[in-house]
């Protein structure tokens, strides 16, 4: 059974760096058909994809946030980590850790989601 476990609510101050760790179980981060993404959602607003790491370690980032984001993984620990620098109150949102299924051909899709971590940016 696939599970994605994220931390509880997080409070960070403006200009600080956010670090979120997601621990997965039920599959391996080295599986060739699986990758991991982070997606955020401000209260009452749309979903926004942030970053993705493929099974081979290749990474991809949101165009507008690329300079502030780093995604990494530790396959031996089954963990995926997102860091976001220079946090601002407008970055307050629920952050989701999400598994990406990449078939041999065709569309990738987000098939398993963590419960979400509420991140509040406030002094």
| By the rule CB under 8 A, 57 interacts with other proteins | no
Q: Choose between 19 and 60: whose C-beta lies nearer to other proteins.
A: 60
Binding segment for other proteins (CB under 8 A), chosen from 9-17, 24-32, 72-80, 100-108, is 100-108
- Residues 6 or more apart whose CB falls under 8 angstroms from that of 56 comprise 32
Neighbouring CB atoms inside 10 A of 57's CB total 12
Helix (H, G, I), strand (E, B) or coil at 29: coil
DSSP letters of 44-108? TS--EEEEEE-TTS-EEE-TTTGGGEEEEEEGGGTEEEEEE-S--GGG-EEEEEEEEE--SSS--
Of the residues 74, 77, 88, 109, which one makes contact with other proteins according to CB under 8 A: 109
Which member of 7, 27, 42, 48 binds other proteins (CB under 8 A)?
48
Residue 113 Cβ vs other proteins, minimum distance, rounded to whole Å: 4
Q: In angstroms, what is the minimal distance from the CB of 103 to other proteins?
A: 8
Residue with Cβ nearer other proteins (43 or 76): 43
User: Structure tokens of 107?
Assistant: 């569309």
- Residues 102, 83: Cα–Cα separation, whole Å: 24
Q: Is 35 in the site for other proteins (CB under 8 A)?
A: no
Provide the binding-site residues for other proteins, judged by CB under 8 A. Answer: 37, 46-49, 52, 60-63, 96, 106-111, 113-116
């Amino acid at each position: 059974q696939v599970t994605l476990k994220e931390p509880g609510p997080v409070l960070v101050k403006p200009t600080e760096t956010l670090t979120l760790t997601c621990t997965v179980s039920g599959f391996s981060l080295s599986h060739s058909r699986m990758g991991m993404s982070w997606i955020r959602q401000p209260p009452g607003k749309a979903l926004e994809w942030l970053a993705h790491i493929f099974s081979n370690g290749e990474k991809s980032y949101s165009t507008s946030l690329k300079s502030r984001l780093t995604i990494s993984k530790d396959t031996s620990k089954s963990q995926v980590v997102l860091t976001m620098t220079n946090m601002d109150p407008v970055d307050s949102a629920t952050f989701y850790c999400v598994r990406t299924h990449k078939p041999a051909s065709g569309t990738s899709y987000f098939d398993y989601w963590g419960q979400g971590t509420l991140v509040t940016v406030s002094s």
